[in-house]
Structure 1
C-alpha cells in the first residue's frame, strides 16, 4: 500500500484553538499517511494554510442545522457532507477528545470507516456526575452514557496520551482492551536549549498554563512565599490567562510574593521565557469536578529547552520526566514539598546545569514528535490493515 491511498480524516469540531498546536504538529509529522483535517467551524486562531482542511458546515440553511442537530443524536450526518468526505478516499477517522468523537462517529458510520479517538484529559477525567448535572451544558448531560455506548462499538478504538489517563478511562467505563497509550510528542527542532548558561540566569521560576483550578498555580504561589523567605531574590513569572487570573494576582499580593503575570503569550514568547528561567513548575491538581492534567506537553517543551521541571501533573509526573535526572515530582497540593524542592534547586547551580543537559537529551530520545507520530502511523496501519477489530 502506498501513502497515496492511506488517508486519515483528523476530526475536531473547532479548527483549531491556539492551545492545540500539538494536533497540527502531529499532522505535519505524518509520513506514510495523508491527513485531511475536518471540522465544523474555523476559529482563525492557528494558521492552517499548510494543512488540507475541510469544513463540514451545517449552517447554510435551517434544514441543514436541524438535520445536523438531530443526526448527531441518532448517529447520521447530512448526505451532502457525507458525499464530500467520501471523495477523499479515507481509510480511518481520527478524532481528538472524546467529546468531539460523538460528532465524528456519524462521519465514520456514513463512510463505513473505523474510528480512533485520542483521549486528552478532561474528556474522561471529569466526573460523570458533573456532566450529568448539566455543568457542561444541557446537550452534554448524556455525554457519559453516549461515550460508553460508543466505546463498545466494534469499529471504535481509543488512544490515551499517558498511562495514567488510560487508567482513568478504564475507571470511567471504557473497556481496557480498547485503549492503547500514545504519547503526542513535541517538535524538538523548535524547542532547544538557549539563552544564558544556567548559573547566569536570575533565580526565576516559570509557570505556563491556563489559569484554572486544575493547573494548581495557587499552590505554586503559596510555595514561592516560603522560597522567597529563604532566597529573597527568587522570582515567579506566570504565563497564561483564565478565569482565576485576578484571584491569583490578589493571592500573590496579599502573600507578599513577587510575581509577574505576563498573560497569554505566543509559542515564540514562551520559548523566550523558558530561556530566561532556571526552573519550570507545573503544580497541577485534580480539580473539584475530577478534571486533571492528561500529560502536560509544556513539561516536554521545558526540558527540551534545557530547563529542569518540577511537577505534580497526572501522567507528566510519572511518565514525562526522569525523576531526579531531568526534574522532580511531588504530590499535588503539597506546598511544603514543592517549596523544599524549589529552594534546593535554586541553591545548586551544578545540579540545575546537569538536569538541563539531561532534559534536552531525554525529550529528543523519547518524545520527539516525529518518533511519536511514526508509532501513531503503525497504530493506524494496525487498525486498517491488521486483524478485524
Structure 2
C-alpha cells in the first residue's frame, strides 16, 4: 500500500501558532500510512521542520507573487503529492493556484477569526472566490466557523469541519524544561516576584497594549509584580515606548522571540491572553499544559476551552477594569491559582489531546484522497 503524501503549506519562516500546528501534525502522523511533507518560506522554520524529519520545500507565498507560485507549481509537477493542506488564507490560495489542473485536492485550515472578514478588504473577496474551490475547509474552533460563516455567505457550511486545536503531550514529555528558579536567576528576577506573562506575536490584534496599560496600575498595587513579554513583531517598538513612558523599564521584560517557550511558561505565575480576536491559540493550550493559570479576553475558541472560574478566567469585557480585577484575583490566592491550573491540565488531557486530533484528521485525509 502506497503512503498518502500530505504537504502542509505555510507562508512564514518562523515558528508561530499555525506553524506549530503543522509541526504537531507532521510529528504525529501514522508513518506507515502517510508521508510527511511541508512547504514554508525557509529560514529557521525550514531548519526546524527538517530537523524533525519533515521533507521541506521552500517558496514564499506570503505575498502570493506569481514567481513563487510558479516555482511551487514546478515542484509539484516533478514531485506529485496526494493532498495539499494550506494553513490560513494565503497559504490555501497559493496551494490552489500552484496545483490547478494537477488533480491535487486542497484543504484550507482557518486558524483565527480574521478581522478583515468584517470589512471590505480585497482579501475577503479573493478568499470568497477561492473558498468554493477547496475540497474542504477546517476551522480550528466552532466559534471560528461561526465567525467565518457569518461574514462569508458564499461558503457552504456542509463543506467546513471543526477540528479544535490540540496539545501535543507526546512532545512535552521529550522537552528539557528549565526549573523556575534557574529561569529567575537567568533573568535576574527575585524569588518573591510575581510574574505575569505574555507569549505570542507582537501584533495589534494580540492586544499587548491593553496588558501594558493594565499592568501600569497593577505594578502600583502589587509592588513585587513583573511582566515578561515573550515574542516579537511589528508592534514591539510601540509597546516598548509605552513601557518607557510609564516608567516601567525595570518592571517589564521584553524577551523577544524564543524557541524554548516551555521554560518561559514555567517562569510565569499567570499567563495572560489580551487578544482582540483569536481562533484557539496554541499559547493558551501550552500554558494549561504547563499548569499555569490563564486569564483571557472573551475571544472565539477560548470560550469553549475555558470554563470561567473553573479552569481559567475569562473577562466579561475586554477592558482595563476587567483585566485589572482578574489579575488582582489571581495574585491574591495561591490556592485558587493551583485549582485553576490543575483543572486546566486535566481538562486539556481529556478533551484536547493530540492523539484524538490526529485520529480525526487522518480520517479526513483518507476520505479526501
TM-score (norm 1): 0.78
State the secondary structure of the residue aligned to 1:325: coil
State the secondary structure of the residue aligned to 2:148: helix
Residue 8 of structure 2 is aligned to residue 18 of structure 1: no
Offset from partner CA, 1:256-286 (integer Å, 9 cap, x none) = 4453223324232x3222212211001101x
Residue from 105, 113, 121 that aligns with 1:131:
121
Q: Contact 1:312–1:329 (CA<8 Å) still a contact in 2?
A: yes
Q: Map 1:315-334; keep pairs closer than 5 Å.
A: 315-334=300-319
Q: Map 1:153-302; keep pairs closer than 5 Å.
A: 153=133, 156-173=135-152, 174-191=155-172, 195=179, 202-257=193-248, 259-268=251-260, 270-285=261-276, 292-302=277-287
State the secondary structure of the residue aligned to 1:48: helix
Match of 2:43 in 1: 43
Q: CA deviation at 1:186?
A: 2.4
Match of 1:305 in 2: 290
Structure 1 residues 85 and 196: CA distance shift in structure 2, 3 A? closer
Q: CA deviation at 1:219?
A: 1.1
Q: Contact 1:162–1:181 (CA<8 Å) still a contact in 2?
A: yes
Q: Contact 1:191–1:301 (CA<8 Å) still a contact in 2?
A: no
* Unmatched runs of 5 consecutive residues or more in structure 1: 59-64, 133-142, 286-291, 385-389
Structure number with bigger Rg: 1
Offset from partner CA, 1:231-251 (integer Å, 9 cap, x none) = 221221111222222322232
Residue 329 of structure 2 is aligned to residue 344 of structure 1: yes
Match of 1:138 in 2: none
Structure 1 residues 9 and 164: CA distance shift in structure 2, 3 A? same
Q: CA deviation at 1:332?
A: 5.0
Q: Distance in 2 between matches of 1:149 and 1:102?
A: 10
Q: Distance in 1 between matches of 2:319 and 2:68?
A: 47
Q: Distance in 1 between matches of 2:264 and 2:11?
A: 32
Match of 2:129 in 1: 149
* Unmatched runs of 5 consecutive residues or more in structure 2: 182-190
Match of 2:6 in 1: 8
Q: Map 1:38-117; keep pairs closer than 5 Å.
A: 38-39=38-39, 41-45=41-45, 46-49=47-50, 50-53=52-55, 55=57, 80-86=74-80, 88=81, 90=82, 92-117=83-108
State the secondary structure of the residue aligned to 2:287: helix
TM-score (norm 2): 0.82
Q: Distance in 2 between matches of 1:40 and 1:218?
A: 30
State the secondary structure of the residue aligned to 2:318: coil
Structure 1 residues 35 and 201: CA distance shift in structure 2, 3 A? farther
State the secondary structure of the residue aligned to 2:49: coil
Question: What is the RMSD of the two structures over their aligned residues, measured on CA atoms?
Answer: 3.0
State the secondary structure of the residue aligned to 2:337: helix
Structure 1 residues 182 and 33: CA distance shift in structure 2, 3 A? farther
Q: CA deviation at 1:99?
A: 1.2
Q: Distance in 1 between matches of 2:40 and 2:287?
A: 33
State the secondary structure of the residue aligned to 1:10: strand
Q: Distance in 1 between matches of 2:140 and 2:49?
A: 23
Q: Distance in 2 between matches of 1:55 and 1:147?
A: 24
